[in-house]
Amino acid sequence: MADEKKGIIYTILTYAMWGVLPIYWKQLGHVPSDEILAARIFWAFWVTVAFIFLIGGHKQLFADLKSLWRSKKAFFTLMLASYLITLNWFLYIFAVTNDRIVETSMAYYINPLVSMLLGVFFLKEKLTPAIKIAFILAAIGVGILTISYGAFPWMALGMAFSFAFYGLIKKTIKLNALRGLALETLFVLPVATAFYIYLFAIDRAAFTTVNIETDGLLILSGAVTALPLVLFATGAPLIPMYMIGFLQYIAPTMMLIIGVLMYGEEFNRTSLISFSFIWVALILFTASKVSEARKIRREKVRNPIAYSKKQ
Per-residue confidence (pLDDT) for residue 301, from 0 to 100: 64
- Tally of residues, the chain: 311
Could you give the CA distance from residue 211 to residue 208 in angstroms, rounded to a whole number?
A: 7
Neighbours of 130 (CB within 10 A): 17
Could you give the CA distance from residue 12 to residue 244 in angstroms, rounded to a whole number?
A: 9
Per-residue confidence (pLDDT) for residue 239, from 0 to 100: 82
Per-residue confidence (pLDDT) for residue 53, from 0 to 100: 94
Per-residue confidence (pLDDT) for residue 304, from 0 to 100: 61
Could you give the CA distance from residue 214 to residue 198 in angstroms, rounded to a whole number?
A: 19
One-character DSSP codes across 175-201? --HHHHHHHHHHHHHHHHHHHHHHHHH
How is the chain split into domains, by residue range?
2-310
Per-residue confidence (pLDDT) for residue 303, from 0 to 100: 65
The answer to whether the predicted template modeling score (pTM) of the entire model surpasses 0.75 is yes
> Is 311 in a helix, a strand, or coil?
coil
Could you give the CA distance from residue 46 to residue 218 in angstroms, rounded to a whole number?
A: 13
Neighbours of 230 (CB within 10 A): 18
Per-residue confidence (pLDDT) for residue 306, from 0 to 100: 52
Per-residue confidence (pLDDT) for residue 286, from 0 to 100: 86
One-character DSSP codes across 54-77? HTT-HHHHHHHHHHHHH-HHHHHH
Q: Where do the H-state alpha helices sit in the chain?
A: 2-26, 33-54, 58-70, 72-97, 101-123, 129-149, 154-170, 177-201, 212-235, 241-247, 250-257, 269-302, 304-310
Per-residue confidence (pLDDT) for residue 167, from 0 to 100: 87
**Successive 10-residue mean pLDDT values, the chain, 311 residues:** 81 93 96 96 95 91 91 91 95 95 92 86 83 89 81 88 90 83 94 96 94 96 90 82 81 94 92 92 87 74 57 50
